[in-house]
Amino acid sequence: MFLCQGISDFRVFMGRNYIQSHEQRLARGGDVFADNLNNTLAIEHKIISPHAAIANVYVNANYDVCITKNNPIL
């Protein structure tokens, strides 16, 4: 954990998508309305994925943290 003093706009992008997180959602009792939920998550994924390009930190599907060229701390 770190403190970003003076930085008011810091973006972290989680690269794991709704398909990759399906098993975890099932394990915690999610996906009760699976068809509707997956349709909603697919739409959300299309909207959110382009934001990876402007992230300061990218956390990939394996939870590896990658510092991007957009990082104001560097």
Within 10 angstroms of residue 70's Cβ, the number of other Cβ atoms is 14
**pLDDT digits 0-9 by tens, 50-67:** 999 989 899 998 999 998
Contact at 8 Å (CB) between 57 and 71?
yes
pLDDT of residue 65: 93
Within 8 A by CB and 6+ apart from 10, the residues are 4, 56, 57, 72
Q: Please tell me the predicted confidence (pLDDT) of residue 11.
A: 87
Average pLDDT per run of 10 along the chain, which is 74 residues long? 65 88 79 75 91 90 88 63
Tokens (6 digits) for 33: 């309305």
Domain boundaries in the chain? 12-67
pLDDT at 64: 93
The HSE-up count of residue 55 (CA atoms within 13 Å, CB side) is 18
Q: Give the global pTM.
A: 0.69
Given this model, what pLDDT does residue 1 score?
47
